[in-house]
Each structure stands twice: as structure tokens, then as C-alpha cells.
Chain A
Amino acid sequence: MKLHEYQAKGVFADAGIPTPDSRLASDVEGVIAAAEEIGYPVAIKAQVQVGGRGKAGGIELVDDDEEARAAADRILGMDLKGYHVDRVLVEEAVEFTDELYVGVTMDRGEARPVAMVSTKGGVDIEAVAEETPEAIASEHVDPAFGMHSYQARKAVYDAGVDPALARDVSGVLTTLYRLWDERDGADAEINPLMVTADDEVIAADAVMNVDEDALFRQPELAEMEAEAASGDELERKADEYDFDYVRLSGNVGIIGNGAGLVMTTLDLVDYYGGEPANFLDVGGGAKAERIANALDMVFSDENVDSVVFNIFGGITRGDEVARGINEALEGFEEVPKPVVVRLAGTNWEEGMEILNEELVTVEETLESAVQRAVEYAQEVSQ
């Protein structure tokens, strides 16, 4: 789960990391009021969770009320890479002489946290990592001990940070690591960490991604998630149903159990010349109601022209799946889009008997089910 910039900045500021003075606003008058309190110039920044906000026109620097009004009017309500902007952060504009990078993440391969510092802040750090990896100093942390103070200092020295700043930057890194550790961060990042003319550092942006599996012990962050939930309507609906769902751009709807098998079903749709409309994993042990919800979910996507239902039962039972499909489809006067079903594994024979074959097409293998669904989608879309 990714916090909004304003949320991450709040978390960082509470922990003692210097951040620019800022206010959240959701209408033009709020923006003007905030800007006057902070004092011009200010930056007006769209609070949506997409990269490259600046380039897409989601950030503007303004010098007075008139400019602020125009910028707020334009940014509030705009569509930024598919996301509706309903809030902006009004922030003190910081004059800087240099831009640094500090970050903490989990190195999957090493199964250890890694703390990083670079003097090449303000640009895409992944590009820096690829082009000039030596420009990023990193320290792997032993999870049994946590990050030692010397490691923070070492990373700062290794990165070649101006010695006059070393103490402050290693202080920021130490705090960032502690936050990452205590708040179950996946990534925590300050890019850029701005250096001012009088050698102070300040977090001009803030990224905090939290491990969703740890939200049960992060009640404060879990509430932020509820607040942060915005963006795609279908993905919101999937959250309500508690599905792992990703919307894609094709027209073959896909429902299955288990991430690997659902991904494979997507790949086969592509392989047989179709285009997947979504990834939807009902998870393990789904009962009839959940199956019906999954169909409702996929039918809510107006791009969908056919649906392939692929279940290989382990703890999921074929009879429950069949009941759920019947339940969902019998609710329609006419089935909205053709549905192809393939059941295998636990209780698949019982499932086949229950399934109302007037409402669905049954296929025996994964390959044939996908091919049939692709054909239907092509017929419908023609």
C-alpha cells in the first residue's frame, strides 16, 4: 500500500525529519488560504499516486493569489494518467543548492534490508541505479540487529556527501530506517532530500509504501489506506469484495483461483490471440457467494466481451464454484456475455453436474477453455 505524499510527509515529519511547511486543500479557496498562511512562492501538488506528476502537469509553482487560483482551478478535478485529482498539497517552495537521495527497501535476493544514499537526487533513482550504480552507496542491514549508527555514517561518506552535511544526512537516514522498520515499510524514500543555501536538509518529496500483510499491526496506517483509496472505480469495487484484481485493457474477462494459475490464464489468452481484460484471483476455498461476486466484478467492466472461469480445486471445491456461477447467472434475464467454465481438481465432477449448461460453455482443459473464450470475445467485438 502506497501512502499519498501528504500522508508520508506527515509520518516523516512526526518522526523528526525536516519537511517543508504544507497544507492539504480540496478547493480553490482552500488553496488560496493555505498559500497565504505559508507565504508565496508555493508549490501546488496533485495528490494522486502516479509517477511523473510534474511532467504530466500535476505540479505548479506559483507566486501570488492570481497564479494560485489559476493553478488550483486547473489541477483540482483534472485527470492525471487516469486518476481524478480531488486534493492538492500546498507547500512552501524551498530554494535549494543541491539534491540528495536517501532510501530504505528490502533486498529480496539477499532477504535483508538495504539503506541507500546518493548525491544524485531529484532524478529517477532507478535510472541512476542502472546507468551509474556506483553513484548509490548502499549498506545491507542484518535484520537481527537493525541498522548500526556506523552504517548510516558509512553510507553517507561512501556516497560522497559534503562533509558539512554528513551529520544531518546520516540522521535523516537513521530516522528513515527506524520508520521503515517500525511501520512495516516496503520502501521508504526521500527524493529529493534538498540542501538549502545555509546547509540544511529538507525532505521535498516523501515516498512510503507499506507492507499490506502487516497492516493488522499498523492500525494508524490501515486508516490511511481507507483514506487513500481512490482511483479506478473497478479496483475500488475489488477492494470491497476483497479480491486480488488488476484491470487491464483487453476484452476477455478472467477469473481463477491462485495467482500463478490466473497469471497463466492471462498469458494463454494472449497466446491464443486474445487480450486479457483483467487479473482476478478469488483466492483459496472460495464459497458460492464469492464466486458470484467475482462474476459481478468482471461484468462491471464494460470492456469485457467474454469470460473464462478457470478453477483448479485444491481447497476450493468444484461444487461451490458451480453453485456460485449458477447463482450469479440465473439472476440475469439473459447472460450478459458468454461465460466459459473449466473445472478441475477437488469435487469437479460434482461441480459439472450442478453447473447449468444452458448458461455457460463447459470445456475440459485449460487450453480449450481459453481458446473458446477468445473466440467468443472476437465474435462479440466484431
Chain B
Amino acid sequence: MSVLVDDDTRVVVQGITGGEGKFHTGQMIEYGTNVVAGAVPGRGGEEVHGVPVYDTVAGAVEAEDANASVVLVPPAFAADAMFEALGADIELVVAITEGVPTQDMARVKRRLDETDAYLIGPNCPGIITPGEAKLGILPGNIFADGNVGLVSRSGTLTYQVVDNLTQRGIGQTTAIGIGGDPIIGTSFIDALELFENDPETKAIAMCGEIGGEDEEAAAAYIDEHVETPVAGFIAGRTAPPGKRMGHAGAIVSGSGTGTARSKIDALNDAGVPVGDTPEEVAEHVEDFL
């Protein structure tokens, strides 16, 4: 078992003919992902890595039964690509693109709320169910099949924690990088709900960072609804207020909201141990299993 993606996921890559699109499509196929189509306006009829390209996502859905999309288009076109996927009844949209304007995302999120679809990202590494499918740019070789669900706001921090887990012989059901932007599709709560309902997920690792209040909301949700044990990590303890730490969403506001302290306290109050180092997160998870 796993959440959102598995062997049966049929992927269309939006932007498959671009440099990033081509490269990561190759990597996804090599990993075993079922990439069935690409979608690029004006490029219908071409092939990339043997995958047929369609002019529209709707065309890819009709001809190839695609049910998930990976968005690898430049930021100026990313919101339109997400709207297109949602309009074509794609069930899972994974938006890798970094630098999507926030106001665009508010409109996308508004549209997303009208559908039953999941949107992961933007500005995220994607999602992987080890041994079955990866949708995105995560390095497949560090993951291993197992019982831990992982959800994280940051790409390379995800790799770090996964590596700490895998080195201990602890594999993952599914790992989801939800992205570091102020407005994202799938939240911590959405991911926690999915893992909670997955019988194979025996423990959850959750990596947050400064900015916003999603971790606090997740802590309240865990307290009420999650039986599966959760271990946490929060990046940005030393971040000064008012400075954007790389991610557009990672900023402690002047009034002190979004601090690491408030997130760590909220998680601890919900019974979630928070590691001081990524290694400690792996130790907590190991204790749960």
C-alpha cells in the first residue's frame, strides 16, 4: 500500500519537450514510473523517450488514460498548466516549478477547492512510492520500500531525512514533498490524513520549517485525528525575523508568528517528538516501529 501514487498511476508530463521535462521524464521512466504521455502545445505527434506527446492534457487523458500530471514548465506558464490539468479531470497534479507568483496560486487553489483532485506543490521535489513510481525530481536511489510515511516542505531536507531512515534500514511507504511556497495545494493535514488511512504506514515523519502556521494546524489535527505515531523536524530555528530564507514561504514575520519555537511547542503539545537533528528524527521513528 501507499498513498496517491503506485504502479497503476498513469502520468502525463506537462512540458516534456523542455530541457528539464526531457531529463526528468527519462529519470522517472528509468525508476519504473508509468509515463504514458507528454503535453506541450504545438508539439502534438512528437515523441520523447518513446512517450507520445499531445497538444493538450485533455488529449493525453483521452488517448492514454492519464490520471496524474507532472508540471515541468516555466513559472510564467505554471498556473495555466495546473488549471489545464484540473480542467482535464486529472486526479493528481504534481507541480515542480519554482517561482510561481503567489497571486496565481491563490487562483489555482480556489479552483482546486472545487475539485476532488490533489495538487502537490508548487516548488516541490514531488512524490515517490519506493519501488513503484516517482512523480518529480527526487533521487530515487536513496529511497527504500517500507512502512514510514514522510511529508516535508523542503526538497533536499527530505533527502537528508530519508537518507537517515534508509541508512537504518527503515523504508518508506510514500514520501511527499509538499513544497516551500506560501500557498500550496496539498497541506500537511491532507498528507497526514492520507497516511493515517493507509494501513501499511506504521509511522510518519513530518519535516516543517519556519513561516506560516501550517505546522501548528497540523499539530492540532494530529492531536484530534491521527493514531499513527508522528516524529517531527522544524528547520529555521536560527532564522532572523523578516528575512526570507530561500523559500518564499520561509519567513518569520515581524510580529513573531511562524517561528520554529511556536511550531515545535505545538507539535510537542500534540505528543509529537521533534528532533534537534535529522538523525534524531530517524531515531524517534525507529523507536515507533
* Partner-B contacts on A (CB < 8 A): 51, 106, 108-109, 111-113, 126-127, 129-130, 142-144, 181, 184, 186, 211-214, 216-217, 244, 246, 248, 256-264, 266-271, 276, 279, 281, 284, 312-315, 344-346, 365-367
B244: which A residues are within 8 A, CB to CB?
244, 246
- Do the beta carbons of B160 and A142 come within 8 Å of each other? no
- Do the beta carbons of B240 and A267 come within 8 Å of each other? no
- Do the beta carbons of B154 and A213 come within 8 Å of each other? no
B139: which A residues are within 8 A, CB to CB?
313-314, 345-346
- Do the beta carbons of B163 and A312 come within 8 Å of each other? yes
A258: which B residues are within 8 A, CB to CB?
154-157, 246
- Do the beta carbons of B75 and A260 come within 8 Å of each other? no
A66 to chain B, nearest CB (A): 37
Among B98, B217, B238, max chain A CB count under 10 A is at B238
Contact check: which of B107, B209, B238 meets A276 at CB < 8 Å? B238
A214: which B residues are within 8 A, CB to CB?
101-104
A165 to B153, CA, bound (A): 45
B77 to chain A, nearest CB (A): 11
- Do the beta carbons of B163 and A106 come within 8 Å of each other? no
Chain A residue with the shortest CB-CB distance to B180? A259
A281: which B residues are within 8 A, CB to CB?
246
Counting CB contacts under 8 A, is B51 at the interface?
A: no
Restricting to B49-77, which residues have a CB under 8 Å from any CB of A?
A: 75-76
- Do the beta carbons of A264 and B163 come within 8 Å of each other? no
* Partner-A contacts on B (CB < 8 A): 75-76, 98-107, 109-111, 125, 137-139, 142, 152-160, 163, 180, 182-183, 207, 209-210, 212-214, 217, 233, 235-240, 243-250, 253-255, 260, 276-279
How many contacts between A and B, using CB within 8 angstroms? Answer: 175
Contact check: which of A129, A213, A261 meets B100 at CB < 8 Å? A213
- Do the beta carbons of A260 and B76 come within 8 Å of each other? no
Chain A residue with the shortest CB-CB distance to B247? A259
Contact check: which of B76, B98, B137, B160 meets A366 at CB < 8 Å? B160
B96 to chain A, nearest CB (A): 10
Given known A213-B100, A313-B139, contact A108–B238 (CB-CB < 8 A): no
Among B111, B138, B237, max chain A CB count under 10 A is at B237
Chain A residue with the shortest CB-CB distance to B258? A108
B157 to chain A, nearest CB (A): 3
Given known A267-B235, A271-B277, A315-B137, contact A109–B212 (CB-CB < 8 A): yes
- Do the beta carbons of B183 and A263 come within 8 Å of each other? no
A184: which B residues are within 8 A, CB to CB?
101-103
Contact check: which of A106, A260, A270, A346 meets B102 at CB < 8 Å? A106
B224 to chain A, nearest CB (A): 18
Given known A259-B246, A259-B250, contact A314–B180 (CB-CB < 8 A): no
Chain B residue with the shortest CB-CB distance to A264? B235
A301 to B61, CA, bound (A): 53
- Do the beta carbons of B213 and A126 come within 8 Å of each other? no
10 CB-based A-B contacts, threshold 8 Å: A109-B212, A258-B156, A260-B155, A260-B207, A260-B209, A263-B250, A264-B233, A270-B238, A279-B243, A366-B279
- Do the beta carbons of A244 and B103 come within 8 Å of each other? no
A106 to B182, CA, bound (A): 9
Given known A112-B106, A261-B154, contact A216–B182 (CB-CB < 8 A): no
B287 to chain A, nearest CB (A): 19
Chain B residue with the shortest CB-CB distance to A260? B154
- Do the beta carbons of A260 and B157 come within 8 Å of each other? yes
B134 to chain A, nearest CB (A): 11
- Do the beta carbons of A130 and B255 come within 8 Å of each other? yes
B250: which A residues are within 8 A, CB to CB?
259-260, 263
B237: which A residues are within 8 A, CB to CB?
267, 270
Contact check: which of B157, B212, B214, B276 meets A261 at CB < 8 Å? B157
- Do the beta carbons of A263 and B276 come within 8 Å of each other? no
B235: which A residues are within 8 A, CB to CB?
260-261, 263-264, 267
A181 to B102, CA, bound (A): 11
- Do the beta carbons of A213 and B102 come within 8 Å of each other? yes
- Rank and list the top 10 A-B pairs by shortest CB-CB distance, nearest first: A260-B154, A259-B246, A258-B156, A260-B157, A214-B101, A261-B156, A126-B255, A263-B235, A111-B109, A259-B247
- Do the beta carbons of A266 and B239 come within 8 Å of each other? yes
Chain A residue with the shortest CB-CB distance to B249? A108
- Do the beta carbons of A211 and B103 come within 8 Å of each other? yes
B248: which A residues are within 8 A, CB to CB?
212-213
A181: which B residues are within 8 A, CB to CB?
103
Contact check: which of B110, B157, B243 meets A264 at CB < 8 Å? B157
A266 to B214, CA, bound (A): 22
- Do the beta carbons of B125 and A314 come within 8 Å of each other? yes
A113 to B104, CA, bound (A): 12
